[in-house]
Amino acid sequence: MSARPMIELRKVSKRFGDFQALKAIDLEVAPGEKIVVCGPSGSGKSTMIRIVNGLERHDSGTVVVDGIELRDDLREIEAIRAEVGMVFQSFNLFPHLTVLQNLTLAPLWVRKMPRRQAEALAMELLERVKIPEQAGKYPGQLSGGQQQRVAIARALAMRPKAMLFDEPTSALDPEMIKEVLDVMVELAREGMTMVVVTHEMGFARTVADRVVFMDQGEIVEAAPPQEFFGAPQTDRARLFLSQILGH
């Protein structure tokens, strides 16, 4: 394992108007490491991972991704975005393009890949997420679970070095959650660096190297899953766990 972290946040703060969304966050993610981020709604989870690929700008602190520091230079931000895949809660597939075109768009225009090669790669990825037969359909013709698997494949088509997931299963009907989590577990087995915001604690137990618990813009705890679930250190984490595991 190389010494350089894949993602490094140091004293990262972010405010929206008067509201302090992130308070001096520190986080390092090693290459190949899988992090699960959890915490109550509004605790800053989305803000944190959106800062990693420049969808939000941080006010202070440093963010380094794959050795590139995120500054105001748009070229550097674009370079980072090409290396970091992102999967959204609401899929955000391009509805005017077919599944295949959704997957080839960025390889064609950002990576300047020949079309035949981009399409071969897209088909290979659709095999991996187990929906090659949907290549010619439009996103509106697919189920939620299928759409999210296409979204994962679309991000993978850029051959990213790390993947960010923002609550990838919370917009799905219960019977579709498993098909998406299966794809993510598979991806983790292949060694992808992953930061996953999720409340799927089963997934966290199987896959995570560390669970990061956030509350009110701070990282309150960060520990391997057995430790975090077995012996949470803070009242805030105990309360949160009792709420999502309890009932």
Ligand X SMILES: Nc1ncnc2c1ncn2[C@@H]1O[C@H](COP(=O)(O)OP(=O)(O)O)[C@@H](O)[C@H]1O
Site for ligand X in 12-31 (CB under 6 A): 16, 19, 21
Q: Minimal distance in Å, beta carbon 103 to ligand X?
A: 27
Among 13, 28, 32, 42, binds ligand X (CB under 6 A): 42
Among 85, 168, 217, 232, binds other proteins (CB under 8 A): 85
CA 201 → CA 27, 49, 161, 165, 208, distances in Å? 21, 19, 25, 15, 10
| Interatomic CA distance for residues 157 and 106, integer angstroms | 8
For 60, list phi and psi in degrees, rounded to 5.
-150, 170
Site for ligand X in 200-229 (CB under 6 A): none
Q: Is 154 in the site for ligand X (CB under 6 A)?
A: no
Residue pair 38/198 in contact (Cβ under 8 Å)? The answer is yes
Q: What is the per-residue binding string for other proteins in 143-182, x denoting contact by CB under 8 A?
A: --------x--xx--x------------------------
Looking at beta carbons, which residue is closest to Mg ion?
46
Q: Is 74 in the site for other proteins (CB under 8 A)?
A: yes
Q: Is 43 in the site for ligand X (CB under 6 A)?
A: yes
Residue 173 gets which letter from DSSP? Answer: -
- Of the candidates 22, 67, 68, 18, the one whose C-alpha atom is nearest the C-alpha of residue 43 is 22
How many other CB atoms are there within 10 angstroms of residue 108's CB atom?
17
Q: Is 44 in the site for ligand X (CB under 6 A)?
A: yes
